[in-house]
Amino acid sequence: MKDGVRETRFVLGLLLGLGSIIGLWLLLLAGQIGRPVPTTQWIEKAYAHKLALADGITQPKLVVVAGSAAMFGIDSGTLEQAVGRPVANLGVNAGVLSAYIQNYARQAIKPGDWVLLPVEYPMYHGRYSINFPFLDYWWENPGFRHMDVNTVQLAQLLWLTPLSRALSGYRGLPPGFVVSGLYGPQNLDQRGDQMHSEAAQQQVWMRALVEQSEVERYGAQAHRWNANWASWKALADEVTAAGGCAVFVPPPMLDRPDYHQGRELQYYQSLPDQARAHGLNYVGSPLQTMYPIDRFFDTNYHLNAESRQLYMQQLVGWVKPAFAQCGRGH
């Protein structure tokens, strides 16, 4: 009996200790919710810059919605001339994932606007995916409660948050902090396009980042992810209901031999049909917006400035008739 009592007390003590640790961890996390941290400020400021640009356009416009592939790859001036509307490039960072990107898009889009969506491939599939950029941003911006963060995703956020991120929230921003470096509003033009990304400005470490970037395995991974087509269709339907038009296109991406064989080739060949089967107005071919390494600046999604026109030439050929057809009400 005594041994049994000791074992019971041990188990209860263990559970109580574990519960106390979990409780303290939750309290630690709760205490830094909503506090700004340096790593997210370029995203915050870039969106503030772009939303202000979009809000300042009073006539029907075209809004570009995606991640940083659009920030680096879209030439909004060329697009503006092609479609005959002012353009606001809302591309910032695919790492914060579709819920945030769609939320900001809804703030920028007005009735009658057209929307161009060169959405990076993972955002069609990873409905409840978690990565560090999303996690980092979520703790500063948890007010987006309508973003469809489910119980499993919330548990992942609590489990995967490193102690360093929680402590960073308590430290906040250093005195006099300003956003600097390549990313942020200081390098965005009057339409929201990235500046200072010419090939001549590529540093050795930037080239190394491109060379060392992963070979993406979207074809192998997509079937294991939670499909996210419905959230993009919901956004497109809202645009259409308000008298506008939403057109999806492939983003620019670094070409790899693996993308032209097997499951990966099948994925890129079939994606436009999959998108259309899920109700999206998708035009273009992903295989035609893959480019060699010399076209990229610092990631496998970031074109250098000179290569924008190559992408835009393909893009305009696809989207100009698509938007013209929308304009005719078909």
**pTM for the whole structure:** 0.93
The CA–CA distances, whole Å, from 218 to 96, 231, 266, 267, 284 equal 18, 19, 10, 7, 18
The CA–CA distances, whole Å, from 300 to 82, 120, 121, 206, 294 equal 27, 11, 13, 11, 11
Give 204's pLDDT tier (boundaries 50, 70, 90).
very high
- pLDDT confidence of residue 152: 79
pLDDT beyond 90 at 247? yes
- For the segment 40-57, the average pLDDT, to the nearest whole number, is 98
Mean pLDDT of the chain: 92
Give 143's pLDDT tier (boundaries 50, 70, 90).
low
- pLDDT confidence of residue 7: 73
Q: Which is more confident, 1 or 149?
A: 149
- pLDDT confidence of residue 142: 77
Separation between Cα atoms, residue 53 and residue 59, nearest integer Å: 12
For the segment(s) 36-327, the CATH number from 3.40.50.1110, 3.30.930.10, 3.40.50.1860, 3.30.2320.50 is: 3.40.50.1110
Separation between Cα atoms, residue 103 and residue 144, nearest integer Å: 8
Give 301's pLDDT tier (boundaries 50, 70, 90).
very high
- pLDDT confidence of residue 330: 46
User: What pLDDT, in 10s, does the model give residues 165-197?
Assistant: 999 999 999 999 999 999 999 999 999 999 999
Separation between Cα atoms, residue 105 and residue 90, nearest integer Å: 7
Separation between Cα atoms, residue 152 and residue 132, nearest integer Å: 16
